[in-house]
Amino acid sequence: MSSNQNLTLDADYAQAIAPYASYVPPVPTDVESLRKQNDFMIDTIMSLFPCPAQNTVSETELPYKSADGTQLTLHRFTPQPNSSPPPAGSPCVLYLHGGGLISGSVPSFKKDIIRYAAETGITFFAPTYRLSPEAPFPKPLEDAYAALEFLRDNAKEQQIDPKRIAVFGISAGGGLAAGLALKARDNKFQPAIKKLVLIYPMLDDRTRAGEDDPLNEHLTWTNKKNELGWGAYLAGGGAKTVGSPDVSVYAAPGRAEDLSGLPPTYVDVGGLDLFKDEVNAFGGKLLAGKVDVEFHLYPGVPHAWEWLGHECPVTKKAVQNRVSTLRDL
């Protein structure tokens, strides 16, 4: 699981992004400017992302409450709405969207959720977890944990098998998913999470590329963005600040040393991603903890490469690998 990679763009990906190569986003100066930039870029890129399965998946909204009583919404995405309801005891996926902990939403990641629900035939649930700095750690994690509890406690009504729940997180949602799995393990949550799927997860607040690191040339999620996102998330709940020695492993799962007892885990990351080394290290800790791990490192692509490179062979391979691991539920 070496993280040493040739730091050049995948040829197909380079061709896919060529029309956008002249666009250089401004450097964010604070959380608000980063949020605006993130949401604009996510919405713009997602508008270009095709979703042929859009009419084959139905969406409904379910109310639920977080630990502090805040009313939230859990979005249910059910494949094949025109067919008979899924049989009782079907598997399901709890999906946690990305956005750097300060942006993003279920609607903005809707096409991604629909894609996986349609290709796996599995019902997905996506919570509207709160964002930072308005709701710093531990509130977003508590929102995710409450969603997991809701699925367990309402399994019969939702026609799902509480023993076959996967937690799927992308980017910042991947960090939340890992933190959720650690909290569920330590709280002896039952039934245990069946599988953990981490897509280029945001795991460690201490991550930073050196000034002379050639990786900087290719980063889509930069040091500055990482510092702003983590700073907002760690602004409350006694988590102190970025890099503080007492940051909770539930906030930054990459700090955890003992990952034994976590569910079987699928992990992937691009070779030109700022998170590459922290994700690689997390995979090694999972192996050390005797967790069943499937790990993929895709050379030549940066963070969130798949949205502009959705037709690239590397993207199709990654999506198929993710779909395959979910079908094993």
> For the segment 71-87, what is each residue's pLDDT rounded down to a tens digit?
999 999 999 855 566 67
pTM above 0.85, yes or no: yes
> For the segment 137-177, what is each residue's pLDDT rounded down to a tens digit?
999 999 999 999 999 999 999 999 999 999 999 999 999 99
Class of domain 11-327: alpha beta
Percent of the chain with pLDDT over 70: 95
Give the pLDDT score at 37.
Answer: 96
Mean pLDDT, rounded, for 296-314: 96
Neighbours of 175 (CB within 10 A): 33
Mean pLDDT, rounded, for 289-313: 97
Give the pLDDT score at 85.
Answer: 60
Mean pLDDT, rounded, for 235-256: 84
Give the pLDDT score at 238.
Answer: 52
CB neighbour burial string for 129-147, b if at least 16 within 10 angstroms, e if fewer = bbbbbebbbbbbbbbbbbb
- State how far the Cα of 325 lies from the Cα of 329, in Å rounded to an integer: 8
Percent of the chain with pLDDT over 90: 88
Give the pLDDT score at 4.
Answer: 46
> For the segment 224-240, what is each residue's pLDDT rounded down to a tens digit?
999 999 999 998 655 56
Give the pLDDT score at 24.
Answer: 86
From edge to edge, which strands make up the β-sheet containing 293-298? 57-65, 71-79, 123-127, 90-96, 160-170, 195-199, 265-270, 293-298
What SS3 state is found at 64?
A: strand
Mean pLDDT, rounded, for 304-327: 96
Exposed/middle/buried for residue 57 (C-beta within 10 Å: 0-12, 13-18, 19+): buried
> For the segment 169-205, what is each residue's pLDDT rounded down to a tens digit?
999 999 999 999 999 999 999 999 999 999 999 999 9
Neighbours of 29 (CB within 10 A): 10
The structural domains of the chain, with segments of one domain joined by +, span 11-327
Give the pLDDT score at 236.
Answer: 66
- State how far the Cα of 285 lies from the Cα of 255, in Å rounded to an integer: 10
Residue 5 has pLDDT above 80, yes or no: no
Mean pLDDT, rounded, for 286-298: 98
Mention every residue, 6+ apart, whose C-beta is less than 8 A from residue 124: 76, 77, 92, 93, 94, 95, 113, 116, 117, 168
Give the pLDDT score at 302.
Answer: 97
- The average confidence (pLDDT) of the chain is 94
